[in-house]
Every structure is written in C-alpha cells, then in structure tokens.
Amino acid sequence: MSLLDRVWPDWRTEQVELLVAGERPTPAGWSRLVDSSWADTVPDLPHRVNRRTAAAATARGAKSSITAARIDALGEVEVTDDGVARIRPPPGLTARRGSESVELDKVVAMFDEVGVSDRALRDGLRLEGTIEAVLFVENLGAWLDMPRPGRWMLVHVPGWNTATVRQLISTLDDVPVVHFGDLDPNGVRIQRHLREHLPGLGWLVPEWWREFVPLHAQDRDWREDLDIRDAPSLVRELAASRRWLEQERVVLDPRLPVAMRDVLAVLRGRRWRQ
C-alpha cells in the first residue's frame, strides 16, 4: 500500500469513482471512466480536425489513442491523419478541385515536386491527364534522383506512412502501380503491407541488380518469420546468404528505365489489380 500511495496518491478516491460508475478496477474499466469524464468537456470543434487535436480534446493529451468512446464524444467531427503524398508527376497533368484547376508543370517548375495532401483528396482533388504507371519509391534520395521515363508518376512512400498515397491511388483510373524499395526485411514488409491494399502491385527487382552484390551488399540477418516464398529470386538469394541491398545505387544505372518498362509489360499482361 505504501508504494501505491507514493506512485498513485489518489487511488482510493478513484477506486470509489470506479465503483460508483459500475466499472471494475481494471485498466479497461479505468479507461472507460476517464473517457466518460472527458466526454462532457469536449469544446466546440470545426467539422474536421487532425487526430492529435481530437485526442487533446477528448483525452489527457494529444498523443492519446483515439478510442471508440472518444470518437463518439466527437460526434460528427471528421478525424484526419493529414499525410502528404510527394509526387514527381509526368508532363501535362492538371490538378482539379471543384471549379479550380492548376497545371502541375507550373508547380514543378517552381517547387520541383508536388505535394498532395490528405485533406485536398478528401475534398475532391483529382489528377487529370495521362499516367502510364505509378512507381512507389521507398527512399527519399532514390525518389529524387532516379529517372522518370515516359509518363510514369513517381510517388515517395516513406516506410509505413502509406495512408495518403493509397488514397491518392484510389482516385486514379485503372493505372498499374509498382513498388521499388530496398531489398531487406523492412523493404519486403513494406511491399507486403502495400500489397494488402493493392493486390496486383508490381515489384521492381531487375535481374541485373544481383551484379551489385559483391561490392554493395551488406551482411545483415533476415527475420526467419518473413514469408518470401513468392518474392523475386534475388530477394530469396539475399535472405539465404544474409545480405541486404539498398536501392540508391540502382537508380544511377542506365538500365533502370528499361527495367521499369519490362515490369510494366508484365503487369499489362494481366488485370493488375487482381
């Protein structure tokens, strides 16, 4: 009891509050009690708020989780993640939102890239023009420095932050999408995560990439529970030899645009989303 008194001085009072509320003295019961006490203190909010703002309005702090009870306390307020999809678009695209439109060539000429926000997509922003294929690129340097052949659109996909890029893809017509990342356990897991939402996702792993193994492969372990049975042969070989390959060196190879066209040809040979 003395230890409990030191670390939680008000535990006796709050135990009574739990009993009065009909909750058991468990973490789940405590969470429900806290949520109910905050429900009456939610301030007036705009129709849409970031999840951090929503947490601050319905819980003790902005980093609290958004529970079902806290969503109920928010009522009709829309909670957003507010990611941004950084893209390198092909020439000739137009972004349209309601009656307004912007030629993306002008945006690229000024800013070198285009940022498409979660909120803009929620409000109906669409890209108009011809997109031959979309390439998800895992690492920032590779995304910035690699060639963009034909009418490909290159999208930066930093790790697990994929919600906004998936939302962007959902606004496009039936455009093939290919993933290009590091050949290491995390790169494979990201590809698997994306494929859960895009079952026909292609995977850019050119055969000649194995030429970089002697000089550029890193000796690292692979997780034994990672399922790579249907991965490209190079991925399986790297796992067996406990080596990783990073994608940055590959973007400098003049064969990369041909490899991109080759993987696109494979995707066009089937309905890519299935």
Mean pLDDT for the stretch of residues 184-195: 93
Per-residue pLDDT at 41 exceeds 80? no
pLDDT tens profile 58-73: 666 666 666 666 666 6
The model carries a pTM of 0.81
The bridge status of strand 100-103 relative to strand 94-97 is antiparallel
Name the architecture of domain 84-268.
3-Layer(aba) Sandwich (3.40)
Choice among 43-47, 103-107, 167-171 with the minimum mean pLDDT: 43-47
> Do the Cβ atoms of 102 and 95 come closer than 8 Å?
yes
More confident residue, 9 or 43: 9
Return the pLDDT at 210. Answer: 95
Average pLDDT over residues 183-208: 94
195, 172, 180: which is closest to 146 by C-alpha? 180
Q: Output the pLDDT for position 272.
A: 43
CA distance 107 to 191: 30
> How would residue 112 be classed by pLDDT, with cut points 50, 70 and 90?
very high
What's the pLDDT at 273? 44
| pLDDT tops 70 at residue 185 | yes
- What is the residue extent of each domain of the chain? 2-80, 84-268
